[in-house]
Amino acid sequence: MVRTNKTQLMNLLAQKLAASGKRLFSPSDLTDIFTQVRAESNSPKSLTKDKFRALALETATLTEVQLSSTYPLHTIRYCTGKFTAYELALSLRPGSYLSHGTAAFVHGVTAHQADFIYANQEQSPKEQSGSLTQAGLNKAFSSKQRQSKFIVSYDQTKIMLLSGKHTNRLGVQKIVDMTNEVIEVTNLERTLIDIAVRPGYAGGTENVLQSFKRALTKTSVGQLAEMLEELDYLYPYHQAIGFYLQRAGHDPESLVGLIKLGLEYDFFLAHGMKKPKFDPQWRVHYPDDLS
């Protein structure tokens, strides 16, 4: 039987890569494709998956994406051509989706292009522990918001990898972005909740308020309230969201559902505020420079 030569082998690989519909590949992706190529060609048994990958790189059928990260990434990515920053962010960890400031930009409710692309991979389910007290809230919000330090860089792109609360991917949807790529991203209501919960991932409270204003005619307050109940936060984030919605221009009558979730505590719009103002209706402390 005639052996498949290198050119034929790489042509077959290129066909398989193109047929996958992807432009970025993990080592496990390549192992699967290599298995298919082996089954359809008479390649020598001595051609291991490592030698196969080396040959693909040598012939420029694949190119390794040069990534750097603040923590060990434990993975490599290979590409077949140009790819978008969103594609790269979503490829880094399984089950990831775009969130927070990135999702707000995708939905057009912020003109603020964040310094980072935010890609969230949910944690495994955990039992919620602890009870809520005013003293506990005061202490929790007295210092700065904790932020992920897991940053992956490629060229001018910086991706912040988040490990968010387990929500069973609540509100995550597939959309076609401006580059005609299908991406997974939180829907508008989930995005508004996320940036209210973590304003540091959206450029701060002023940017969050502007996003709520831009989303005024697109926002379903009922869906927001239902989603908040399903998310089941220990902290009363509905008070912060009610504050933002009212400041954004929503009819106060439409916010009754959020009020019914309770106004038992004095809450905080952000962490580590100095000399904040206080909104007595929503019982929320907010930055004194918030317009």
Please give the full DSSP string across 63-112, using - where no structure is assigned.
EE---EESS------EESS---HHHHHHHSSTT-EE-HHHHHHHTTS---
Give yes or no for residue 2 having a pLDDT over 50.
no
Write the DSSP assignment of 124-150 as a string of letters. Answer: PP--------HHHHHHHTSSPPP----
Q: Averaged over 171-200, what is the pLDDT?
A: 94
199-221: per-residue pLDDT in tens?
999 999 999 999 999 999 999 99
Which of the four pLDDT bands, split at 50, 70 and 90, describes residue 228? very high
The three-class DSSP label of residue 155 is coil
The domain containing residue 90 runs over which residues?
85-125+136-286
Give the closest residue to 109 by CA, choosing from 117, 120, 101: 101
Separation of alpha carbons 289 and 291, rounded Å:
6
Residue 129 has pLDDT above 80, yes or no: no
Same domain, residue pair 101 and 19: no
Residue 259 lies in a domain: yes
The structure tokens 């109940």 sit at 229
Least confident of 33-47, 75-89, 173-187, 248-262: 33-47
Q: Average pLDDT for residues 181-201, to the nearest whole number? A: 96
Distance CA 228, CA 192 (A): 11
Residue 249 lies in a domain: yes
One domain for residues 51 and 195: no
Q: Are residues 11 and 98 in the same domain?
A: no
Task: Say yes or no: 44 and 183 in one domain.
Answer: no
CA distance linking residue 116 with residue 97, whole number of Å: 14
Residue 211 sits in the same domain as residue 158: yes
**Same domain, yes or no: 24 and 93:** no
| Average confidence (pLDDT) over 255-264 | 94
User: Which range (53-62, 89-98, 177-186) has the least confidence?
Assistant: 177-186
Q: Is the dihedral of CA 249, 250, 253, 259 positive or negative?
A: negative
Q: Which contiguous run of DSSP H or E holds residue 39? A: helix 27-40
Which among 155, 176, 166 is positioned nearest to 82, based on CA atoms? Answer: 155
Indicate whether 55 and 109 sit together in one domain: no
The pLDDT of residue 250 is 96
Confidence of residue 4 (pLDDT cuts 50, 70, 90): low
The reply to whether 95 and 221 lie within a common domain is: yes
Q: Which residue type occupies 148?
A: S
193 in the same domain as 103? yes
* Residue of 215, 266, 216 whose CA lies nearest to 240: 266
CATH number of the domain residue 175 falls in:
3.30.460
Residue 222 is assigned to a structural domain of this protein: yes
Assigned domain for 276 exists: yes
Q: Considering the domain boundaries, does residue 291 fall inside one?
A: no
Are 117 and 38 found together in one domain? no
Please say whether the beta carbons of 144 and 274 come within 8 A: no
Q: In total, how many domains does the chain have?
A: 2
Asked, for residue 144, whether it belongs to a domain, the answer is yes
Q: What is the pLDDT of residue 7?
A: 87
Whole-Å CA distances, 113 to 102, 150, 165, 193: 8, 19, 24, 19
| Residue 76 counted as domain residue | no
pLDDT tens for 20-58 read: 989 999 999 999 999 999 888 878 778 889 999 999 999
Q: Are residues 160 and 229 in the same domain?
A: yes
* pLDDT of amino acid 1: 35
Same domain? For 186 and 252 the reply is: yes
Is residue 130 in some structural domain? no
Q: What is the mean pLDDT of the chain?
A: 93
